[in-house]
Amino acid sequence: MVNALRKYIQLTDYINKVVGWLLFVMLAVMSVLISWQVFARFVVGESLTFSEEASRFLMIWLTLLGAAYAIKEGSLIAIDLLQSKLTGAAGRSVRTLMSVISCVFYIILIINGFMMAQSISFQTAPTTGLSMFWPMLALPSGGVLMLINTIAVLIEDYIGKEA
């Protein structure tokens, strides 16, 4: 059983490595688009029509996937006053309760995010012509990755991190 849990943690580590590179690429593309937009607006005198919208969509994906990535890395912002004061079984119980509550939120985010993405899939973005399904798909996608990572962190808390 412990071996299967360690394999799950290895799988989440691999997924997060891929997501980390995806975040890097999205941030680079967004930075180039915004820089080009500023250059085109102030130097050339004509701004691009699609760069602001594309950057906005990339920012949505960056935020949700980045939050999921931060969960596994342990760098997501949190109020940990109670958690830092409690040690041993009490601390583990509080972390478990927080993880379970977070997982319930992620499941709600996945279900409602997908329903929202489907309900507005007929709408298209004005400048890119992209279906609004794709930017909104970031909600359930980020929720799935947050759920996977929270479960992995919870498993690591109980069986320990693999050396």
Percent pLDDT > 90 in the chain is 70
Helices (H), 87-137: 88-119, 133-136
Of residues 67 and 160, which shows the higher confidence score?
Answer: 67
Mean pLDDT of 143-152: 96
Token pair in block for residue 104: 């319930």
Give the contacts of 89 (CB within 8 A, at least 6 positions apart): none
Predicted local confidence at residue 146, as pLDDT:
97
pTM for this model (two decimals): 0.88
Mean pLDDT of 117-133: 94
Predicted local confidence at residue 63, as pLDDT:
96
At residue 54 the predicted structure's pLDDT band, cuts being 50, 70 and 90, is very high
> Would the pLDDT of 82 be above 80?
no
Predicted local confidence at residue 76, as pLDDT:
80
CA distances from 29 to 35, 36, 48, 86, 142 (A): 10, 10, 15, 43, 20
At residue 162 the predicted structure's pLDDT band, cuts being 50, 70 and 90, is low
Predicted local confidence at residue 163, as pLDDT:
44
Distance, in Å, from the CA atom of 109 to the CA atom of 136, rounded to the nearest integer, reads 11
